[in-house]
């Protein structure tokens, strides 16, 4: 019985296939279109070469990575020297890291400063003030992606430690 049902199903399927129309679709090849991965307003978070401050102490280093590491260390020292510990934070014993975020534009200018993580008691505002004072004194070398200068979102920690 099963065998007969199987044969009937097979014959019905063949008949359906015989009645099905086959259409041929011609595909036309289009010329290759260049797709740009970045637009002038795109802000990169990850880039091949990070932006850094062009400091005299770091100029003699050879590689981009060495210059960037040197500049970050020096920049941290300069911002720390500029910071005035907020009175309220000192009274309350507030310590920790404030993270600032800003965009280093393709032309080396800085914009869109903001406090990404605050520890409170006025530390975030003071870190922002100190960083703006220091950052505006120096020329920034923009970050690059595929050999082109691009806008890069940059995060910068400012450490608050009571003495």
Average pLDDT for the chain: 83
| Domain ranges, residue 122 | 43-160
The region of weakest confidence among 8-12, 70-74, 111-115 is 8-12
Give the mean pLDDT of 4-21. 53
Is 19 inside a domain boundary?
Answer: no
* Domain CATH number, residue 121: 3.30.1150
Show the CA angle centred on residue 72, arms to residues 90 and 85, nearest 5°.
10
Percent of the chain with pLDDT over 70: 75
Is 124 inside a domain boundary?
Answer: yes
Is 151 inside a domain boundary?
Answer: yes
Whether residue 63 contacts residue 75, with contact meaning beta carbons closer than 8 Å, is answered with: no
Cα–Cα distance, 124 to 16 (Å, whole number): 74
- Residue 53 binned pLDDT confidence (cut-offs 50, 70, 90): very high
Total tally of structural domains belonging to the chain: 1
pLDDT of amino acid 7: 54
Give the mean pLDDT of 122-137. 95
* Whole-structure pTM value: 0.71
Is 7 inside a domain boundary?
Answer: no
Is 17 inside a domain boundary?
Answer: no
Is 37 inside a domain boundary?
Answer: no
Residue labelled with tokens 């965009």? 103
Is 22 inside a domain boundary?
Answer: no
- Residue 116 binned pLDDT confidence (cut-offs 50, 70, 90): very high
Give the mean pLDDT of 29-49. 66
Give the mean pLDDT of 110-118. 95
Write out the DSSP string of 23-44: ---PPPPPPP----S--TT-EE
- Residue 12 binned pLDDT confidence (cut-offs 50, 70, 90): low
Report the run of H or E that residue 91 belongs to, with start and end: helix 87-92
Q: Provide the 3-class DSSP secondary structure of residue 156.
A: strand
Q: What's 160's DSSP letter?
A: E
Cα–Cα distance, 36 to 34 (Å, whole number): 6
For residue 159, pLDDT beyond 80: yes
At 97, phi and psi to the nearest 5?
A: -110, 135
pLDDT digits (tens, 9 = 90+) for 56-92: 898 888 898 999 999 999 999 999 999 999 999 999 9
Q: How long, in residues, is the chain?
A: 163
Is 69 inside a domain boundary?
Answer: yes
Pairing of the two strands 148-160 and 143-145:
antiparallel
pLDDT of amino acid 18: 52
């Amino acid at each position: 019985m099963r065998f007969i049902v199987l044969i009937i199903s097979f014959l019905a399927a063949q008949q359906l296939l015989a009645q099905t129309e086959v259409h041929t679709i011609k595909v036309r090849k289009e010329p290759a279109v260049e797709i740009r991965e970045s637009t002038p307003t795109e802000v990169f978070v990850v880039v091949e070469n990070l932006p850094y401050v062009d400091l005299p102490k770091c100029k003699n280093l050879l590689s981009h990575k060495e210059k960037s590491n040197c500049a970050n260390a020096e920049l941290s020292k300069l911002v720390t020297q500029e910071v005035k510990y907020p009175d309220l934070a000192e009274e309350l014993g507030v310590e920790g890291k404030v993270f600032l975020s800003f965009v280093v534009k393709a032309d080396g200018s800085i914009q869109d400063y903001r406090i990404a993580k605050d520890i409170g008691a006025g530390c975030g505002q003071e870190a922002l003030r100190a960083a703006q004072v220091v950052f505006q004194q120096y020329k920034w070398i923009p970050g690059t992606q595929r050999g082109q200068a691009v806008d890069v979102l940059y995060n910068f920690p400012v450490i608050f430690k009571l003495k």
